[in-house]
Amino acid sequence: MPSDPSGGTVESMMMRGDFDAKVQYESQQPWYLSPVIGRRSLSSTNLVGVRHDPTLGTMSASSLSDVQNRAVVHRTWGLLSGGMAYGAKFQYSEYKKASSTLAAMFQMLNTMAIKLMLALPPLRAIAAMVLPAPGQGPDPAKEKNYRFEMEAVAIADTDHDETAPRAYTHFAYPGGPYHATAAFLAQGAASLLYHRKLEGGVSGGCLTPAFLGQDLIERIRGVSTDFSTKML
């Protein structure tokens, strides 16, 4: 799923460098947004940031959205039954799929270069001249031809990871990530407007999309999205 970044995304990434080191460090902690602090996150990759999964294949820890998405997922965990709904040892990790170990290593180097460019003021000035400005972004016509896909494997919280039950979920949207985001925003708003029921028995607050529950999944399936789950 090749897709160019929007100017807003680029600007948000550049603005991280405006915060002091302490704020940046704290905001990247796994449980930063969770009301309950979970277990210390353990690395599931090798020394060069590559992981091999029997279901998902070869992956690299090179996702540019991993820190933000992890914080949101961990907040869901903390808000649902004080962290007990998903199990006391729950943790979320995000990776980018790679065709080979060598490709995964190149992905890691590419991500490191991007983060370095957006972190250092002199390099940020150069990046601002070549990357999209706010209001600019991917060609809408090209975005329609992309296919945005995500896969996930959930491993049950047991004492034996090797024999623990595993569930697999596949998500695919016929368009780029910005179109997928628009679909989720629209269907999420529809769920709030018409369904008016949140998971966990909550009535409101600073929640996450997971609290829209099965209603959001059914609505997103209704806009040509493949959203399937099976036990492995």
- Which residue in this structure is represented by tokens 């959001």? 216
The residue length of the chain stands at 232
How far is 191 from 18, CA to CA, in rounded Å?
A: 36
Tokens of 159: 């004492």
17-71 confidence digits (pLDDT tens): 777 888 888 888 999 999 999 988 777 788 888 999 999 999 999 888 889 999 9
Picking from 50, 56, 46, 39, the residue whose alpha carbon sits closest to that of residue 92 is 39
What is the structure's pLDDT at 98?
93
Q: What is the mean pLDDT of the chain?
A: 87
Q: What is the DSSP string of 155-188?
A: E---S-GGGS-EEEEEEEESS-HHHHHHHHHHHH
Q: Give me the percent of the chain exceeding a pLDDT of 70.
A: 97
Spatial CB neighbours of 151, under 8 Å, sequence gap ≥ 6: 56, 97, 168, 169, 170, 171
Residue with more model confidence, 113 or 218: 218
How far is 144 from 176, CA to CA, in rounded Å?
A: 6
Compute φ and ψ for 26, nearest 5 degrees: -65, -40
**CB 17 within 8 Å of CB 70:** no
Rounded alpha-carbon distances, angstroms, from residue 137 to 50, 91, 93, 132, 207:
30, 33, 28, 6, 29
Domain residue ranges in the chain? 1-137, 138-232
How far is 36 from 85, CA to CA, in rounded Å?
A: 12
What is the structure's pLDDT at 4?
66
118-171 confidence digits (pLDDT tens): 777 788 888 777 777 777 777 777 777 888 999 999 998 887 777 889 999 999
What is the structure's pLDDT at 131?
77
